[in-house]
Amino acid sequence: MKLGILINEGPYQHQASDTALQFVKSAIKKGHEIYRVFFYNDGVNNATRFATPPQDDRNITKEWSALAIEHNIDMVVCVAAAQRRGILDKGEAERNGKDSDNIEEGFRISGLGQLVEAGIQADRLITFGD
Amino acid sequence: MSMLHTVNKSPFENSSISSCLAMCTNDSSVLFIEDGVISVMKSTKFSDLIMDSLSKYKIYALKPDLEARGLSLDNVIDGVEIVGYDEFVDLTTEHDSVQSWL
């Protein structure tokens, strides 16, 4: 089955990103296809490669990134939510005159249409949030 | 149309549980995750609500979240099914849609 995932919460709010990650790992193990993971609102904070948590703390950004690369998962960050929170890819950094970009490998920045499309194309859309 | 409802907040924190149960129909199931798992403990002021609901809907609680909070599985209300992430995935695919009460 094709599953869409929506994450509305950052890595240090409650537990949404962690729950979603475990859910996605189980879904892949069971043979389901992850159509897309969409990061919205404070969920976009999961996508910064500049976060440097202590070594004995879980690094959820790295975990998402590794999972996406290994299983070729489309992970989309909402552009409007990202700009507000300083999450930029190379193109957005140049366009906005910033000195660097900070998006982690495996994530891409795009628009809300990608969430709508996931809602239409996926068999189920599961929301993890605040 | 069958629907899986997920509740991720403690019943002592907000009213998701009563909103959720008010919207449930006969083919609904409720899965408690994250802080929501507190809802299925015995001897709280919400225990009766859960026990009444068990006769109408299937009720599940996520085991890793119970364990992460030090909640003993022995104190889970009888009839509540304790599941892992694999069963969480199965529940989402077995129901026609998923409603997350946030």
Domains of chain A, residue spans:
2-128
- The predicted structure's pLDDT at residue B9: 97
Q: Which residues in chain B are contacts of A16 at CB distance < 8 A?
A: 8, 34
Q: Which residues in chain A are contacts of B89 at CB distance < 8 A?
A: 23, 26-27, 30, 32
- The predicted structure's pLDDT at residue A53: 97
In chain A, the residue whose alpha carbon lies closest to the alpha carbon of B62 is A19
Q: Give just the sign of the alpha carbon dihedral B91, B92, B98, B102.
A: positive
**Percentage of the residues of chain B whose pLDDT score is greater than 70:** 100
Q: Looking at the predicted structure, is the pLDDT value of residue B54 above 90?
A: yes
Interface of B with A (CB under 8 A): 8, 33-35, 64-65, 84-86, 88-90, 92-93, 97-98, 100, 102
Nearest to B98 among A14, A27, A126 (CB): A126
Average pLDDT estimate for A86-104: 97
What count of Cα atoms within 13 Å lies in the side-chain half-sphere of residue B41? 18
Q: Contact, B11 vs B19, CB < 8 A?
A: no
Average pLDDT estimate for B74-84: 98
Tell me the per-residue pLDDT of A99-129, one tens digit each, with 9 for 90 and over. 999 999 999 999 999 999 999 999 999 999 9
What is the residue range of B11's domain?
3-101
A24 three-state secondary structure? helix
pTM equals 0.97
| Helical packing angle, B47-54 and B16-23, nearest 10° | 20
- Report the distance separating Cα B51 and Cα A58, nearest Å: 37
Q: Looking at the predicted structure, is the pLDDT value of residue B13 above 90?
A: yes
- The predicted structure's pLDDT at residue A130: 84
Average pLDDT estimate for B44-67: 97
Confidence category of residue B18, pLDDT binned at 50, 70, 90: very high
Q: Looking at the predicted structure, is the pLDDT value of residue A84 above 90?
A: yes
Q: Domains in chain B: how many in total?
A: 1
Q: Which has the higher per-residue pLDDT, B54 or A130?
A: B54
ipTM score here? 0.97
Q: To the nearest whole angstrom, how far is the Cα of B79 from the nearest Cα of chain A?
A: 24
Sequential DSSP letters for B37-49: GGGGBTTSTTHHH
Residues of A assigned a catalytic role: 78
Which fold, A2-128? Hypothetical Protein Ychn; Chain: A, (3.40.1260)
Tell me the per-residue pLDDT of A12-63, one tens digit each, with 9 for 90 and over. 999 999 999 999 999 999 999 999 999 999 999 999 999 999 999 999 999 9
- Look over chain B and give the mean of its residue pLDDT values, rounded to a whole number: 97
Q: Looking at the predicted structure, is the pLDDT value of residue A10 above 90?
A: yes
CATH number at residue B59: 3.40.1260.10
Nearest to A26 among B89, B97, B98 (CB): B89
- Residue for token pair 């996931």: A118
Q: Contact, B52 vs B27, CB < 8 A?
A: no
